[in-house]
Structure 1
């Protein structure tokens, strides 16, 4: 949510009225960095231990399978606490492998992918 004092900075005018956004737009300058700071702050206890985050890519990991449901519960409690919403269409569960920015993740390892630069 945007602070009320910032609403005027993201307002727009139509022939009918003046409107303003109440949620942060990803098209705004510095939004990505602001969002990354928020995610780093609210997920700080989880980062490195049972979670990795890069902007809007989040990976919940567990050292042992029987801990995974608890790690998911702990992770999902954080957005709920801060009234953030996850997009179910972008969530994947029970995958054996997948890409995370700069890495290929499998059940047994995390492998760095080659840089494209």
Structure 2
């Protein structure tokens, strides 16, 4: 994090009070909501189940997903916060920002644009790589790893499954038989069936 001499005025206003000859300065929370000045994105896309019978699949997870996306230099001041030790601003995208999920989804979609729905499905920091044959899967893995390396994205190895015939992905089982819901995770419909 980089130190800044002040925080944005809409988040924190300065009040001065005079006490004798001393001028004390205190920080007070703004009465306006910071999120009221933000245009909200529609959010991340839904998971698609249009996978053409994969014979091999792999589940990957990006480590510290949002923190791998750098905040544009001209926007760093928008992430400023104050502590008793000074004011700071994020250089990478923090969790909790209004548009962080949709920004992250748009970034990963842009990075993997040429592979999306051909051999890759991405939802936030979850990546599913699927292929029709083992040989094709190795080519697809190489293409994905090349894009990850080129864009300095790091996967969390403990959450990755390699060369599986069946993988669980976002509450779905992806296998050679197609895509189905994970047993026990689906709810009964509201039409009276239980």
Q: Distance in 1 between matches of 2:95 and 2:82?
A: 20
Partner residue of 2:114? Answer: 45
Q: Which moved more, 1:92-101 or 1:18-27?
A: 92-101
Q: Look at both structures and tell me which one has the larger radius of gyration over its CA atoms.
A: 2
The CA deviation string for residues 51-76 of structure 1, in whole angstroms up to 9 with x for no partner, is 11122211111111112222111101
The equivalent position to 2:150 in structure 1, one of 81, 84, 92, is 81
Partner residue of 1:59? Answer: 128
The CA deviation string for residues 21-67 of structure 1, in whole angstroms up to 9 with x for no partner, is 11112321111111111111110111111111122211111111112
Q: Distance in 2 between matches of 1:110 and 1:39?
A: 25
The CA deviation string for residues 69-111 of structure 1, in whole angstroms up to 9 with x for no partner, is 22111101112212222222322213332222253112x1322
Within 5 Å, give how 1:14-25 maps onto structure 2.
14-25=83-94
Q: Which segments of 5 or more consecutive residues in structure 1 lack a partner in the other structure?
A: none
RMSD across aligned positions (CA)? 2.0
Partner residue of 2:174? Answer: 105
The equivalent position to 1:72 in structure 2, one of 132, 141, 159, is 141
The alignment's TM-score, normalised by the length of structure 1, stands at 0.84
Contact 2:161 2:167 in 1 (8 A): no
Q: Which segments of 5 or more consecutive residues in structure 2 lack a partner in the other structure?
A: 1-69, 190-194
**Which gives a bigger RCO, structure 1 or 2 (Cα 8 Å, sep 6+)?**
2
Alignment length (residue pairs): 116
Instruction: Kindly indicate which of the two structures has a greater share of residues assigned to strand.
Output: 2
**Runs of at least 4 residues off by over 6 Å:** none
The answer to whether structure 1 residue 32 and structure 2 residue 32 are counterparts is no
Residues 1:102 and 1:89: Cα distance change in structure 2 (over 3 Å): closer
The alignment's TM-score, normalised by the length of structure 2, stands at 0.54
Q: Distance in 1 between matches of 2:158 and 2:86?
A: 33
